[in-house]
Structure 1
């Protein structure tokens, strides 16, 4: 989940502070959905496919959204200092990682609990 919904999309569209110039919202959302979908399918093919050609397709799906590139603003400008922007990105990634870790641990605990009953 972390790789699909946070890591892969933020490689092209990192978290942005309010007041930061950004590309068109519709284009960014479409790229995000496409990247998350391609990453999920690519990882599934890499892990579960038995045929080598499907694994190659999975690897290609992981790379394609980043080769195409995320929509970018015409001019990169921000009202916040660069240090604050860097801290915001790091805090966003760490928060997402903590969320996915907690979700995984809770899911495993609930699964084990239901299996023992």
Structure 2
């Protein structure tokens, strides 16, 4: 179920993240491809709902399509920043802990940022 007003939803488990990535990668071109290959907003919403349904099969939490889309965008952005930091492309101003690339991040990068 969704968290009550003002409460944060629980973090995605490792299994939920795996299931999310497994659901998004085959659909990536439809969701984020060139404008001539993209589908309608309604169709994208249906794709995200189907992905959320698969994530919910794990039984950990009741995720909605919007939650899955937002978490995907976060992990995709985090994967790119981590890769850039490891390649020395990011500025050194940040004082946060250095992240290491995970196998899940590599899978995301191969599809989302092929260059």
Of the two, which has the highest radius of gyration? Answer: 1
Shared fold, TM over 0.5:
no
Return the structure number with greater helix share. 1
Q: What's the TM-score once normalised by structure 2's chain length?
A: 0.30
Q: What's the TM-score once normalised by structure 1's chain length?
A: 0.30
